[in-house]
Amino acid sequence: MSKELLKGNYAVIKGALLAGCVAYFGYPITPASEIAEAAAYYFPLAGRTFVQAESEIASINMVYGAAGAGVRCMTASSGPGISLKQEGISYIAGSELPCVIVDVMRGGPGLGNIAPEQGDYHQVVKGGGHGNYKCAVYAPNSAQEMCDLTYKAFETAEKYRNPVFVLADGFIGQMMEQVEFGKLDPVTPKKLDWGVHGTADSKNLINSIYLDPDELEAHNRKLQEKYKKMEENEAMFETYKTEDADIVLIGYGITSRILRTVVDEARKAGIKAGLFRPITLWPLAKDELNKLKNSAKKFFVVEMSNGQLVEDIRLVVEGKIPVEFHGRMGGNVPTVDEVLEITKKLS
């Protein structure tokens, strides 16, 4: 089928299979459980591997092993599970292994609740594990993008030999929308040359330990150069009515869809509002933000958190433009009316 009505979580797996993902290792957790459910159904049908591990820690280490063997692989979880995976993610980054990790965010901290939130931004974008590593982070705002950006995540992971996140709030994971697959070319699974293939003639070695300080520093500098290239080439964003905007609303995930409606309503009220949506949370589209700060009078960041993306926006603009913030927590989703009312007061 070229089109299908799907939950965002199911769309992730369709995108992964089209991208040539060979293996899924996971452990169920709400609101991400349907990703494992879909993988358990579709991966065996496609002749690929699904393993429900005994824990989140086990699943990320299985990802390490499969990625080290040179095959495309993935896992998915929600905040508490991602917390448990952080050590493994650091090992994967240190070993320069490509993989895709999906985080469907729920309320926190602690067990919190199963309602949608965006409180994992710091954990994922800043790197929750130890060391000086970074992961590219895609932030879909629809079921279509859950498919498309998962597909792209595998390409980016392999291009840079680096873990890549797909970061979605629980709303995007759980909502059902039409998803079109026609634009995605199916990738044939293959083993990569640098992988450890377990054969007598394979001399490849995968590790992240460098006991000599100078060797470890050289490895880290190599990683930083890679991250610099990612910043230069991989930033993605979307703008809406920003050409003449006096106030630019900023948000990602489900929040960005609410803000798009707020922009339309604000325009009807005579307010020149626009929308900047980061599609990659890292790397952040700094060049576009700097263009907007020179034309707009104010930025207004809306998040389902205590204010995490807003910190990076303020760092980019360096105080050259006021950056206001509105946040909801606990799984509460901001409404069009409440954001519109604040927008009117700020304008």
SS3 239: strand
- Determine the residue type at 50: F
pTM here is 0.97
How is the chain split into domains, by residue range? 3-233, 238-346
Position 1 scores a pLDDT of: 57
Q: How far apart are CA 52 and CA 63, in angstroms?
A: 12
SS3 7: strand
Instruction: Tell me the fold of 3-233.
Output: Rossmann fold (3.40.50)
Q: Which residues pair with 275 in a beta bridge?
A: 240, 249
Position 204 scores a pLDDT of: 86
Candidates 3.40.1390.30, 3.10.105.10, 3.40.50.1460, 3.40.50.920; CATH matching 238-346: 3.40.50.920
Domain 238-346 in the same topology as domain 3-233: yes
Reported as a single tens digit per residue, the pLDDT across 234-257 is 999 999 999 999 999 999 999 999
Position 203 scores a pLDDT of: 80
The alpha-helical segments, DSSP class H, found in 161-233 are 170-174, 213-233
Reported as a single tens digit per residue, the pLDDT across 83-98 is 999 999 999 999 999 9
Q: How far apart are CA 242 and CA 151, in angstroms?
A: 29
Closest CA to 81 of 33, 23, 47: 33
Asked whether the beta carbons of 165 and 137 are under 8 A apart, the reply is yes
Neighbours of 164 (CB within 10 A): 28
Asked whether the beta carbons of 31 and 116 are under 8 A apart, the reply is yes
Q: How far apart are CA 179 and CA 176, in angstroms?
A: 9
Asked whether the beta carbons of 312 and 282 are under 8 A apart, the reply is no
What parts of the chain have a pLDDT lower than 70? 1
Q: Which two tokens stand for residue 91?
A: 């090992």
Q: How far apart are CA 102 and CA 104, in angstroms?
A: 6
